[in-house]
Chain A
Amino acid sequence: MSLDPRVNRLKLGDPTAVIKVEAGENWNVYEVFHQEKRGAHHEHVGCVHAPDPQMALIFAKEQFGRRKKCVNLWVVRSADILAFDSEDEDMFATNMEKTYRDASGFKVMEKINKFKQSKGTTNHVK
């Protein structure tokens, strides 16, 4: 007898029985993207195992949308995601040096201050 009344209703099998799950029995993998509010990006939050996209969406709704705020979900087969190899990370390595692409690369205030200062020295005496 189990202490769990649910378990007593199950009629458990032989404890020594060999039970095996076959390859593929838990279906395929779908990546899940969660949109927290209208206007926000869909963000990757994890994945679900499902037999097809519709079931993936149904499962994702409860596994990834049951708690926090959520207005929409996307699912896509993991096999359909194309990504760079992590070794190719070096392609991005010099991004931060290319300051001409970044606001921080332009010292506008410095120039203005310099100009004001120079005006101050020439026009100061009145």
Chain B
Amino acid sequence: MLNKALTDLLTKMADDELILGHRNSEWTGLGPVMEEDIAFSSMAQDKIGHAWALYNIMEEKQLIGQSADMFAFCRAEKDFKCSHLVELPNAGYDFSLMRHFLFDHAEAIRYESLQDSSFEPLQHLSKKVKGELKYHTLHANAWVMQLGKGGEESYDRMQTALNEIIGLAAGIFEPSKDYEDILIAEKVYPGEKELYTRWLESIYPVLVKSSLNLPDMAGLTPGYGGRQGKHTAYLAPLLKEMGEVFNLDVDANW
């Protein structure tokens, strides 16, 4: 039972990072200014790297019976557990930066909580990625604060992006019906409800400094479903694209 719960947790974490890493990597070469292009690309690489590390843990601990590559690039859509937030295609840079801000705070909070995890590989990984995530949130905070105060157009764009995706971002913390209790009891992690509270505490002060308004969270419907394998229409085509070359011949070396 614990193994199933661990697989569920690691899969959803890894799938989020894989899909968002892909979306963010699409900006490489197309960013608003070269310096930012480079920074954003590095963070996309980090995300894909974290996903790889998580799949590798599952492979090593025999939680999954296949290689990280096969698991990431040959799985059916319904077996993906990513949240809806990461599935959406890139719109403008306002959208991508706001998603980066909301997601990376959530990611940083989650890994921070895993520093005391009873599951040793996660504890180890969380310590390893701590510095990377520190940079990601530093970068995200700086941009959100600058753009929140960067004049009327910029402010409007950022507030609109926040309003549009905050509900989907809350969907990151969709609790898992079957596994939540055991993961908390076994001290693997503190559970989604607790992480959600910490996340709000983490993003709120930055939004205040940016003069952006956090919508009333109680009145929002969080974008749930992804953790149960129910996805937006955008995921299936992306998975097909990601696996296009690999699936020409899964037994070949690429």
Contact = CB atoms under 8 A, between A and B. Distances in A.
Contacts of A9: 26, 89-90
B30 A49 contact: no
A102 B37 CA distance: 49
Contacts of B38: 59, 62-63, 66
Given A6-B26, A26-B33, A55-B142, A62 B39 contact: yes
A27 B241 CA distance: 37
Nearest to B145: A54
- Interface magnitude class on chain A: 10 to 19
B148 to A, nearest CB: 14
Nearest to A25: B33
Nearest to B138: A58
B178 interface: no
Interface in A18-72: 26-27, 48-51, 54-55, 58-59, 61-63, 66
A5 interface: yes
B35 interface: yes
Nearest to B36: A59
Interface of A: 5-6, 9-10, 26-27, 48-51, 54-55, 58-59, 61-63, 66
B42 A50 contact: no
B35 A49 contact: yes
A58 B30 contact: no
B142 A58 contact: yes
B93 interface: no
Contact of B33 (A5, A6, A49, A66): A49
B213 interface: no
Nearest to A49: B35
Contact of B146 (A55, A61, A62): A55
A60 to B, nearest CB: 8
Interface string B34-56: 11101100100000000000000
Interface in B1-53: 26, 30, 33-36, 38-39, 42
